[in-house]
Amino acid sequence: MPSNKSVSDAPIVQFTNCRILRSHQLQREDLWVRAGKILNPEKLFFDEKGSADIQLDCKGSIIAPGFIDVQINGGFGVDFSLATDDFKSGIDLVSQKILSHGVTSFCPTLVTSPPSVYHQVLPQISIRDGGAHGAGILGAHLEGPFISKEKKGAHPEHCLRTFEEGAFQDLLATYGSLDCVRIVTLAPEMKRSSEVIRELTKRGICVSLGHSVANLSQAEEAVQHGATFITHLFNAMLPFHHRDPGIVGLLTSDKIPAGRRVFYGMISDGIHTNPAALRIAHRAHPKGLVLVTDAIAGMGLAPGRHTLGQQVVEIDGLNTYIAGTKTLSGSVATMDTCVRHFQEATGCSVETALEAASLHPAQLLGIEHKKGTLNYDSDADFLLLNDSLYVQATYIAGKEVWRQEALGM
């Protein structure tokens, strides 16, 4: 009989006594992992005649795919929109700390900044796998500066830009490089935005609509040119109006190209969106909802003054404002908190809440074949959670990278 080593020298780990989130359902079965991938036990038993080298008792925990945060501006005193000499150590710190919130991959997000900041910061962001060093980096999310002055929110007005002649070249000159860029948020009502959306989409970059006064037909046109995401739905856009629902109307639009799904980010922190609005969005388009934290440097720190790029922000409880105003500026929510609030506010199933932070962002970025699910051969990035959806342990590539203290397995 061939041994387990016939295919790989890596040990086979069997997680037992657990419920696995697979095919939109919690299933009572074991999870098998080898060499950083989810194994198909049938192939292991019948083709390889293999068995587990290590068995781990999960004591009834839920096993869910790792969370993916596609909009996070910083945390723990680190601001991704500040060009500092130790930017790399800052991004390393955030990627390490968010493991305890169940985040296994993320898109570091830069708010509207001067070109000099993009030119300094973007070359220091490299796409990389996660591991014991921290969550994986999927590429940068550039939120602005090509956004609406009327809906700038916490973005500094003096840094906002419009598309001039040669719009795409203008964008390239502003950012310096698109090598590590995964998402760009822009306002689709801007002149020449269609050309930019087409060019970005051609390069595999996700275009998100946000900080905008676009009407519904402008938003639909942007989607027809390739846009697939809405940045923090309801925030920094025209409010829903029954005669012209604006960008919000994309959730039920009949002008979306066949086979295309529009996704939308929601900051489910209990502050940015009233629970009733969260319920409306979820019921209108459940498969498009992507939970994001929109967390700023103050996440994980005591209330007080912190930065968000060029602005000073003040944290008061769970509220974050531009200093001296009542303009909301990002959040201090963690991803696991957003998942729990979303489930509580909408009354949705545990499976739905978990998929909004894992499967949906993976689908948005086109990486659902390897992230965001526990399908066979996908990356073994997963979480152990209790029934109240508190994270007990985080695994990346099948290896434990964080565990709640005093919980031993």
Query: Which of 269, 294, 336, 379 is flagged as catalytic?
Result: 294
Taking a C-beta distance cutoff of 8 angstroms, is the pair 105, 136 a contact?
yes
Establish whether 330 is an annotated binding residue: yes
Give the count of beta carbons closer than 10 Å to the beta carbon of residue 132. Answer: 12
Amino acid residing at 36:
G
Annotated binding residue at 405?
no
The reply to whether 211 sits in an annotated binding site is yes
What whole-number distance in Å separates Cα of residue 309 and Cα of residue 297? 9
The verdict on whether residue 236 carries a ligand-binding annotation is yes
Give the span between the Cα atoms of 194 and 189, in whole angstroms. Answer: 9
Ligand-binding site membership of 154 (annotated):
yes
- Say if residues 94 and 78 touch (Cβ distance below 8 Å): yes
**Residue 101 among known ligand-binding residues:** no
* 135 appears as a binding residue in the annotation: no
Q: Which residues of 162-191 are buried (b: 16+ CB within 10 A; e: fewer)?
A: bbeeebbebbeebbbebebbbbbbbbbbbe
Burial 49-86 (b: 16+ CB within 10 A, else e): ebebeeebebeebbbbbbbbbbbbbbbbebbbbbbeee
85 is catalytic: no
Residue 155 assigned to a binding site: no
**Do the annotations mark residue 219 as ligand-binding?**
no
Q: Is 237 helix (H, G, I), strand (E, B) or coil?
A: strand
Angle, in degrees to the nearest 10, between helices 167-175 and 193-202:
60
Residue type, 408: G
Alpha-helical regions (H) of 63-143: 87-97, 115-121
329 is in an annotated binding site: yes
Can the peptide bond before residue 239 be classed as cis, meaning omega within 30 degrees of 0?
A: no
The Cβ of residue 344 has, within 10 Å, a number of other Cβ atoms equal to 14
DSSP classification of residue 101: G
CA 208 to chain centre: 13
Q: Is 232 annotated as a binding residue?
A: yes
Widest distance between CA atoms in the chain = 73
User: How far apart (Å, rounded) are the C-alpha atoms in residues 373 and 143?
Assistant: 27
Dihedral pair phi/psi, residue 57, rounded to 5°: -85, 120
Q: Which residues are catalytic?
A: 294
Known binding residues are 143, 154, 211, 232, 235-236, 243, 272, 328-330
Known binding residues for Zn(2+) are 143, 211, 232
Known binding residues for substrate are 154, 235-236, 243, 272, 328-330
